[in-house]
């Protein structure tokens, strides 16, 4: 019985790796949203830490997670809860996830808070902030003075 639960938990984590944020090409696991997975018998409880608490993608991801996990044989109940016990920070994002977002064309902050904004296209740091607010809650708009491209940057909660 113990063996089965451990096996199921692994399957749940593997399945979560295939669920993506609808607004970014990154999985919920690489983004670091999953705080905890608990399997009890045929029930799974997933606790999720949102990047921004008001992000409209949260409900979509909850539904996607639920749908995906219910496809696993042996699971017939899925509860996805939001957790605010610890804050989401850049430290939660995996190196692979960060890589994918850079590849997608976003300027990415490192784990350090204060730093210059690097252009994802030419690598220059000769950039200026145009708008603290962007197309989603987690993005700000900058401009690269070097290659003269507008830049979107992943914005971590302050």
Residues that bind other proteins (CB under 8 A): 52-56, 84-85, 87, 130-135, 137, 141, 157-158
- The C-alpha angle 16, 157, 96, rounded to 5 degrees, equals 40
Q: How far is the CB of 85 from other proteins (least distance, A)?
A: 5
Q: Is the Cβ–Cβ distance between 117 and 153 less than 8 Å? A: yes
- Listed in sequence order, the residues at least 6 apart from 79 whose beta carbon sits closer than 8 Å to its beta carbon are 43, 44, 45, 46
Instruction: Please identify, using beta-carbon distances, which residue of 102 and 137 lies nearer to other proteins.
Output: 137
CB of 88 to other proteins, least distance (A): 8
Q: Considering the complex, state which of residue 7 and residue 87 has its C-beta at the smaller distance from other proteins.
A: 87
Nearer to other proteins, 87 or 105 (CB): 87
């Amino acid at each position: 019985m113990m063996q089965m639960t451990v096996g199921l938990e692994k399957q749940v984590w593997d399945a979560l790796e295939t669920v993506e944020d609808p607004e970014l090409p990154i999985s919920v696991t690489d983004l670091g949203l999953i705080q905890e997975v608990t399997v009890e018998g045929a029930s799974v409880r997933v606790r999720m830490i949102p990047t921004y608490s008001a992000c409209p993608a949260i409900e979509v991801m909850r539904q996607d997670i639920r749908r995906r996990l219910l496809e696993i044989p042996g699971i017939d109940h899925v509860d996805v809860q939001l957790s605010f016990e610890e804050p989401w920070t850049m430290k939660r994002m995996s190196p692979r996830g960060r890589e994918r977002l850079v590849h997608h064309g976003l300027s990415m902050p490192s784990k350090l808070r204060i730093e210059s904004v690097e252009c994802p296209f030419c690598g220059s740091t000769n950039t200026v902030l145009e708008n603290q607010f962007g197309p989603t809650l987690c993005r700000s708009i900058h401009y690269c003075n070097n290659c003269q491209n507008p830049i979107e940057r992943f914005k971590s909660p302050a």
